[in-house]
Structure 1
Amino acid sequence: MSAEQTRTRPIRAAGARGRVCSPALVALLIGTAVLYLWDLGASKWANAFYAAAVQAGSTDATAMLFGSSDAANAITVDKTPAALWVMDLSARLFGFNPWSMLVPQALMGVAAVALIYAGVCRLLGPGAGLLAGAILALTPVAALMFRFNNPDALLVLMLVLAAYCTQRACEKDASRWWLVAAGAAVGFGFLAKMLQALLVLPALGAAYLLAGHRPLRTRLLDTVLAALTVVVSAGWYVALVELWPAAARPYIGGSQHNSIVELALGYNGVGRLTGNEPGGLGNLNHDVGWGRLLGYGMGADIGWLLPAAVICIAAGIVLTRRAPRTDPTRAALVLWGGWLAVTAVVFSFMNGIVHPYYTVALAPAIAAGTGIGATLLWRNRTDIRAATSLAGTVVVTVVLAAQLLSRTADWMPWLRAAVAVGGVGAAALILVAGRLGPVAARVVAGVAVVSCLAAPAAYAVATAATPHSGALPSVGPSRGGGFSGGGLLSSPTPRPALIRVLSADADRFTWAAAVVGSNNAAGYQLATGAPVMAVGGFNGTDPSPTLDQFVRAVSEGRIHYFIQGRVMTMGRSDASEAKESVAIRNWVDAHFPAQTVDGTVIYDLTADISQPAHSAGQR
């Protein structure tokens, strides 16, 4: 066996398992937990849109099952509710508060880091596993989303679990149930964020079909079985909602025809790619193309090690090109490289709604791909081609880090110079590392790793140290000492007098109030603890309730107040798409008296309907 083959040969699984509880791993997981859990409650309700749904699900079983925005079940959030179920259960056990809602998200991040470590460690040992785990933990968008209450935390954990199970399925004497488990994990990921979970399927299938030890015919049958498992583990819920009588469940938010299939395939599916999303806002970023992931919108979230991952994965495939078909290291590179390629292309060119934090789905592939590829290059450092590739990776990474840091030039300005000097120096030494002694070589490797991770780590710590609220949280240091996020999609924070008015006799009504838009409704609901109807769903464009339904609910005395809230009319959400919401607002304004409480205009819907509207008075 050649020296090259010896250095690229994977460590046996048994040996890797023996190091699974090493002190370094414990330190990695504790450090990750501290980063993700420290002062977690500072973000308060984080994304009020989902927090209100957790509040509802923690008190009402129907709201929990369907992911309703309120406990009276007017309308659901615009996602399948698996991520809400986790937070609902925590809130039921520990009471509804920011900590009980957000701690499960942070623990999912720790679990994802542990799985990345376990998968890479099985291939190349603890060092590679620690590198991969640290990269995931210190990716800024991971530090953002594993401290937030969006569905992305559960999605990422399920996809990492699916990748780990697929990797195990490729091992010698592995049971086909590992691949079935991978399919189940992807299916449950679908229940967190719908079609986005399916982006990893080509990579999982390619890795198993390439490297599985079973005969080709059996591998094909196993893949079909795993695909059926995806359908069953995701489809049972879709079937349940579609077959449930519409009158006995909330309206499916984000759809135009009260259909979860439409939601999955339209607003949260093909519409995200084409931009043709009925009821959506369209893509307001105007940055479609290859540069998006490194641009001003997404670069600080995920760009730090993206080029490094591409280089390392490509180099790793070259280094393992002569390995047997079943080589598990090459299979892992195909898996993580395929995940990275498909997801990166989709995120770069999707024309519909896309937000920078979506890129957390790229973080595991970048972490594992870099950990595997960099380790293979290091082990082959006596070959000048491998040493040059690794040195080039370090230079590209620190130059990109300096450029990304320059976008917040007044924040830690010394860090740019430090990572550049350290990285370039380490890269130069890597070129001769094959001739250095073991201790010196480890020092060079350490300087290179620290130089490459220092900038994203600092950004991740700054992200964790900044409270985040609203639907559009952002990474990096606070821009003024307050909350990060908010703005266009933020929720109102009512003042005490308005809270007292809305809360008074709230238990006599099905809904204490109604307001256009789920974010508006969430703010009032979280403040009062009483159900608030979100007219028109998230964007105010869902046709629920219709004007007739709303008038009937008012005549039956089920809604106490109507709140005049801000309505989004930009992009595609024009008056024609929000016609029911506009009609309801106009009808209320024409038939009920208005009053201003703490600067907010409200209408008492229990007043005489024949009474004409009058100018808003002060209260």
Structure 2
Amino acid sequence: MSSATQSPPLTAPPTPRSAARGATRKHTWALLGICALAALLYGWALDSGDYANAYYSAAVKSMTGSFTNFLFAAGDPYGSVTAAKPPLAFWPQVLMVWAFGFHSWSIMLPQVIEGVAAVFLLHRTVRIWAGQNVALVAALILALTPVTVAINRSNNTDTLLVLLLVAAAYACTRAVHTGNGRWLYLSACYVGCGFLTKLMAAWVVVPAIALVYLVSAAAPIRRRVADLLGAGAVLAVTSFWWPVLFDLWPGSKPFMGATLNGGALENIFGYNGFGKIFNFGQQYGGSGLNVQLGAVGMSGGEPTVTRMFGPEAGGQISWLLPFSLLILAVVGAAGYRRLWHAIPGDRLQRAGWLLWGSWLLVTIAVFSFTEGIWHPYYTTSLAPAIAAISAAGLAGLWREYRHGGGRSWILLPAAVALTAAWTIVLISRDTSWHGWTRWVVLATAVLAVLGLVAGRAGGGRAAPGRWALLAGVVSMLVTPAVWSAGTAIEHKTNGGFPSAGPPNEALNALTRGELPPGVKIPGLEDVQARPPRGGGFAGATLSAENRKALDYAVRNSGNAEIALAVEGGGLAASSFIIDSDAVVVSMGGYLGADNVPSVGQLRQWVAQGKLRFVLSAAPGGPRMGGLAGMGGERQKERVAWVVGNCSAVDPAAYGGTPPQERLLPLPSFGDATLYRCG
């Protein structure tokens, strides 16, 4: 029978909906085992004391102090500025801190729970579409995705974002199957909650949800259009109620970080929204870290079509990306042949491919061409789509291998070979990190391809074919599994920029005051190696020097409401907030760029006796690794005002040491100087 008259196997898995209702005890235990594996990977050494993104951890601690701090995601205990993100991702962490106290594990525990919940919910979503076995494979792939392990071991917002987007996909799938618009409204609500987690990053899945419901829902076309309009209204309300509340709040509130005027809507349509896509609203007037991010492996690569495969993001997410794209190409070709020959199709199976395929392709397009700040850990939002497509595609290729006509059986061994080749390329970029797995991949892939060819020679039903399929799956998943386990064990390598795989030796060397071989940064060639002075890059532990300065400020502040204001934003102030109970103000938002407190506000605080001590930069020009120079013009104005209106405290008064002339190339804040104002 020709392929033109067959039912294309990739787009028509056998009765998945009945399989979804008929879960066996074996399936249940398998799902529990996958969820337990995910919990182990995400929660390993949860009590290590690593606060991951210290900037967010400081915000969580600050949010416990008052209702407005909680409601508006204050970045410091005084509530002077927000953490520049909506609060939804932080609220579970705050609740856990209220329940168990402020510890690194109480902040991370919600992330583990959310990560495991995403794995479970992806299984529930995929089984409706493709059955129990495919759903289990999808859940396993998501659990073993290296970047997902890394981000779920951090307190960044992406963990909750992925859970909410998978929940939206589940509700959309139910809406398509039932034709009930209420499920679509629920899907829109989940996306809106995702917006309150990471703003426009959540809207990337909106085209997929809208397309699949419009094309495939079990309802008349007028009803579908009306439901989509209603869902759009739900999306708008659930997305914007908090920003509008923030901007209309009549009482005191924090300044919205990463904005010029302190408004939430400005943040959405500026730095954290369209600014990330089109690279506007992000120029702080400084160089961020005074070091090119690419030199220390912290950039996301150039905005090109190959970004997802590059050295920055490739090892995080792209292990099964070529396989997924191949599957989508085969499905697209099968769908085209079906339309050309007017062969009836399965509406619900088409819906699944449209949902996950659109999710994957739209997200890749947005990520690949984003011109603003883009971090490789953002790719965790690709993981559910890759997992669903890869699992369903593998099942479809196996059916085609066994029952397909012509030469279509070649697709399965070809896909195994393609995936193995790309995996070996990724491993070879740094063989010092579990490079031995490339030999395992090569051996199992060769065994799989030869076994599949031999199995097909026996009619596609011989035992070698089944064992070859297992070998092929091993070749696909062994290295991501090893990378995931290694990332979990190396739990102290995440920090504020979570990543899987090899530790960032360039960044580590720079924090030690060293230049890695081959890295040339203008102005740093003559920097002498010396140990870090301070909490390091956005660290959570106060250095002995900074603790002495803080203790002195607390003892001598009298009745001042603010014990200490720290220049350099949350990057500099995080350790003061996390490692003490003092009321500390982080001046300038995240990197010191925000106009908060303004010079006028500083003057007013000092005149009213609210502030007596400021930790700012030593007099003179910006220094590499110093407090000044990262925040642009607003920071320069504050630094100049402090130098001109406050008196420097002799470090000998609190047992400190004078700032050194030679400073670390990454923030050690070695030029920090304590000033007394008023």
Q: Assess same fold via TM > 0.5.
A: yes
Question: In the alignment, what sits opposite 1:165?
Answer: 171
1:18 maps to which of 2, 22, 40: 22
2:191 maps to which of 186, 189, 202: 186
Question: In the alignment, what sits opposite 2:243?
Answer: 238
| Cα offsets for 1:155-210 (capped at 9, x unmatched) | 11111111111111111x34211111100000000001001110110011111111
Matched, 1:556 2:580: no
Q: Structure 2 matches for 1:450-529, cutoff 5 A? A: 450-466=474-490, 467-478=492-503, 490-491=538-539, 493-496=541-544, 498-503=546-551, 504-505=554-555, 508-516=559-567, 517-529=569-581
Q: Which runs of 5+ in 2 are unaligned?
A: 513-535, 660-669
Residues 112 and 257 of structure 1: CA distance in aligned 2, closer, same or farther (over 3 Å): same
Residues 485 and 10 of structure 1: CA distance in aligned 2, closer, same or farther (over 3 Å): farther
Residues 316 and 431 of structure 1: CA distance in aligned 2, closer, same or farther (over 3 Å): farther
RMSD: 2.9
Higher alpha-carbon deviation: 26-35 or 56-65 = 56-65
Q: Structure 2 matches for 1:52-451, cutoff 5 A? A: 52-171=58-177, 173-245=178-250, 248-280=252-284, 285=299, 287-319=302-334, 322=338, 324=344, 327-381=347-401, 382-383=403-404, 385-434=407-456, 435-437=459-461, 439-451=463-475
Q: Which amino acid is 2:640 matched to?
A: N
CA distance in 2, matches of 1:52, 1:116: 32
Residues 378 and 576 of structure 1: CA distance in aligned 2, closer, same or farther (over 3 Å): closer
Instruction: For residue 47 of structure 1, report the CA deviation from its aligned partner.
Output: 0.2
Residue aligned with 1:22, SS: helix
CA distance in 2, matches of 1:492, 1:578: 25
Contact 2:54–2:540 (CA<8 Å) still a contact in 1? no
Residue aligned with 2:564, SS: strand
Question: In the alignment, what sits opposite 1:613?
Answer: none
| Cα offsets for 1:413-439 (capped at 9, x unmatched) | 321121022113313333454524465
Question: In the alignment, what sits opposite 2:647?
Answer: 592
CA distance in 1, matches of 2:109, 2:180: 34
Instruction: For residue 221 of structure 1, report the CA deviation from its aligned partner.
Output: 0.8
Higher alpha-carbon deviation: 221-230 or 489-498 = 489-498
Higher alpha-carbon deviation: 415-424 or 300-309 = 415-424
Higher alpha-carbon deviation: 93-102 or 2-11 = 2-11
Residue aligned with 1:313, SS: helix
Residues 5 and 388 of structure 1: CA distance in aligned 2, closer, same or farther (over 3 Å): closer
Instruction: For residue 400 of structure 1, report the CA deviation from its aligned partner.
Output: 1.0
Instruction: For residue 396 of structure 1, report the CA deviation from its aligned partner.
Output: 1.4
Q: Which amino acid is 1:219 matched to?
A: R
| Cα offsets for 1:259-298 (capped at 9, x unmatched) | 1111111101111122122445688645121111111111
Higher alpha-carbon deviation: 157-166 or 412-421 = 412-421
Question: In the alignment, what sits opposite 2:520?
Answer: none
CA distance in 2, matches of 1:287, 1:62: 40
Q: Which amino acid is 2:600 matched to?
A: D
Residues 37 and 585 of structure 1: CA distance in aligned 2, closer, same or farther (over 3 Å): same
Q: Which amino acid is 1:443 matched to?
A: W
Higher alpha-carbon deviation: 89-98 or 584-593 = 584-593
How many residues matched? 604
1:540 maps to which of 569, 580, 592: 592
Q: Which amino acid is 2:241 matched to?
A: W
Residue aligned with 2:83, SS: coil
Instruction: For residue 41 of structure 1, report the CA deviation from its aligned partner.
Output: 2.8
Instruction: For residue 602 of structure 1, report the CA deviation from its aligned partner.
Output: 5.5
Question: In the alignment, what sits opposite 2:42?
Answer: 36
Residues 148 and 107 of structure 1: CA distance in aligned 2, closer, same or farther (over 3 Å): same
Residues 574 and 92 of structure 1: CA distance in aligned 2, closer, same or farther (over 3 Å): closer
Contact 1:115–1:161 (CA<8 Å) still a contact in 2? yes
| Cα offsets for 1:208-252 (capped at 9, x unmatched) | 11110101111111111111111111111111011113x610000
Residues 331 and 428 of structure 1: CA distance in aligned 2, closer, same or farther (over 3 Å): farther
Question: In the alignment, what sits opposite 2:516?
Answer: none
Contact 1:594–1:603 (CA<8 Å) still a contact in 2? yes
Higher alpha-carbon deviation: 540-549 or 594-603 = 594-603
Contact 1:462–1:478 (CA<8 Å) still a contact in 2? no
Residues 317 and 111 of structure 1: CA distance in aligned 2, closer, same or farther (over 3 Å): farther
CA distance in 2, matches of 1:102, 1:393: 38
Matched, 1:47 2:53: yes
Residue aligned with 1:511, SS: coil
Contact 1:502–1:528 (CA<8 Å) still a contact in 2? no
Instruction: For residue 24 of structure 1, report the CA deviation from its aligned partner.
Output: 1.0
CA distance in 1, matches of 2:561, 2:417: 62
Higher alpha-carbon deviation: 261-270 or 285-294 = 285-294
Contact 1:594–1:602 (CA<8 Å) still a contact in 2? no
Q: Which amino acid is 1:445 matched to?
A: L
Q: Which amino acid is 2:416 matched to?
A: V
Higher alpha-carbon deviation: 420-429 or 261-270 = 420-429
The sequence identity of aligned pairs, in percent, is 32
Instruction: For residue 385 of structure 1, report the CA deviation from its aligned partner.
Output: 4.4
Contact 2:65–2:77 (CA<8 Å) still a contact in 1? yes
Residues 513 and 405 of structure 1: CA distance in aligned 2, closer, same or farther (over 3 Å): same
Residue aligned with 2:563, SS: strand
Contact 2:413–2:449 (CA<8 Å) still a contact in 1? yes
CA distance in 1, matches of 2:562, 2:146: 39
Residue aligned with 2:566, SS: strand
Contact 2:126–2:388 (CA<8 Å) still a contact in 1? yes
TM-score (norm 1): 0.91
| Cα offsets for 1:429-486 (capped at 9, x unmatched) | 3345452446543322211111100111111111111123532232114467998998
Instruction: For residue 59 of structure 1, report the CA deviation from its aligned partner.
Output: 2.8
Residues 568 and 349 of structure 1: CA distance in aligned 2, closer, same or farther (over 3 Å): farther
CA distance in 1, matches of 2:180, 2:558: 55
Instruction: For residue 152 of structure 1, report the CA deviation from its aligned partner.
Output: 0.5
Residues 29 and 459 of structure 1: CA distance in aligned 2, closer, same or farther (over 3 Å): same
Contact 2:616–2:675 (CA<8 Å) still a contact in 1? no
CA distance in 2, matches of 1:114, 1:485: 40
CA distance in 1, matches of 2:595, 2:629: 12
| Cα offsets for 1:72-108 (capped at 9, x unmatched) | 1000011111101111111111111111100111111
Instruction: For residue 301 of structure 1, report the CA deviation from its aligned partner.
Output: 0.7
Contact 2:616–2:672 (CA<8 Å) still a contact in 1? yes
Contact 2:193–2:238 (CA<8 Å) still a contact in 1? yes
Q: Which amino acid is 2:281 matched to?
A: E
